Amino acid sequence: MSDNNFKRSSSFDVRFDQGRHWRAKIGFVVLAMEQTIEEDVFRLAPNGVGVHFSRVRMENAVNVDTLEAVGRELAGAAALILPDEKLDVVCYACTSGSLVLGEKKVANELNKGAPTAIATSLITGVIHALEAFKVRRIVVGTPYIDEINKMEKEYLEDQDFDVLDIQGLNITNDADMVKVAPDFLKEFALSIDTPEAEAIFISCGALRSLDVVDEIEKAVKKPVIVSNQAMIWETFRLAGIQDRIDGYGRLLREF
């Protein structure tokens, strides 16, 4: 039986709406071997917020040389994220990679591929998150080797943070970073805390720190920032998404 509400021809009066991602469209450039960030972002994205990903080639060895090489890939990767749509925000989703290249270079490269989007990086989100809490004296835990830890300490100190201590796990293989147990990450965070520290920062998007950030914060009774939490907060707020999200630390719950 035919429905008289529709014309029996190829010319229909098609009804359109704003689509699933009517509130915002956010793009992320992740490393080729990344296994944590996408799931974390999808888990926290509110209804109506689209999160879209592109990957850059990188050797599966995290050091200064491999991270610097990624800079040549950022523009092309950003250009592949919804090329026929307007992104609200585009972010390079790598903590160590964004500090090795520098925020300005990252933003410039991302905007070559996505010129209308607000460009940001994971380290930018971390800095803004720490500033939101008005803290300066921090301790930092990372999975990185010493050369990257040294650069991270210097980078944060150039932003007027007092890095009281930075401890790394000396892991170079990203595939190993994604397997670090969340309960170990909680123990690691508690072990580096000091009474003088106003906040703890656990660095690296590959770590599953988002799973335990709330537990760490309740244990130490001070702000705890982890990479993916800070990146999600930064990109959502830049896109105009003000939803408060419970269960993943004070940053997403209060700011």
Question: Domain 125-226, what fold?
Answer: Rossmann fold (3.40.50)
Residue found under tokens 């990203």: 174
* Burial group, residue 246, by CB count within 10 angstroms (0-12, 13-18, 19+): exposed
- Is the CA virtual torsion 65, 107, 76, 42 positive or negative? positive
* Burial group, residue 64, by CB count within 10 angstroms (0-12, 13-18, 19+): middle
CATH 3.10.129.10 fits 24-123+230-254, yes or no: no
Rounded distance between C-alpha atoms, residue 141 and residue 193, angstroms:
9
Mean pLDDT per 10-residue interval, the chain, length 255 residues:
53 92 98 96 98 94 93 97 96 97 98 98 98 98 97 98 98 94 98 98 98 98 98 98 98 98
Rounded distance between C-alpha atoms, residue 153 and residue 160, angstroms:
11
Helices 37-44 and 227-238 cross at an angle (nearest 10°) of 50
- Cα atoms in the Cβ-side hemisphere of radius 13 Å centred on 207: 31
One fold for 24-123+230-254 and 125-226: yes
Beta-ladder partners of 166: 140
Rounded distance between C-alpha atoms, residue 240 and residue 117, angstroms:
13
Rounded distance between C-alpha atoms, residue 51 and residue 45, angstroms:
7
Q: What is the pTM of this model?
A: 0.94
pLDDT at 8: 57
pLDDT at 10: 62
Rounded distance between C-alpha atoms, residue 221 and residue 214, angstroms:
10
Rounded distance between C-alpha atoms, residue 68 and residue 105, angstroms:
11
pLDDT at 1: 47
Q: Residues 32-90: pLDDT tens digits? A: 999 999 999 999 999 999 999 999 999 888 899 999 999 999 999 999 999 999 999 99
Main-chain dihedrals φ then ψ at residue 107, nearest 5 degrees: -60, -40
Rg (CA), the chain: 20
Q: Quick check: helix, strand or coil at residue 79?
A: helix
pLDDT at 59: 86
The domain ranges of the chain are: 24-123+230-254, 125-226
Q: How far is CA 100 from CA 114, 136, 139, in A?
A: 21, 21, 19
Using a pLDDT cut of 70, give the percent of the chain over it.
96
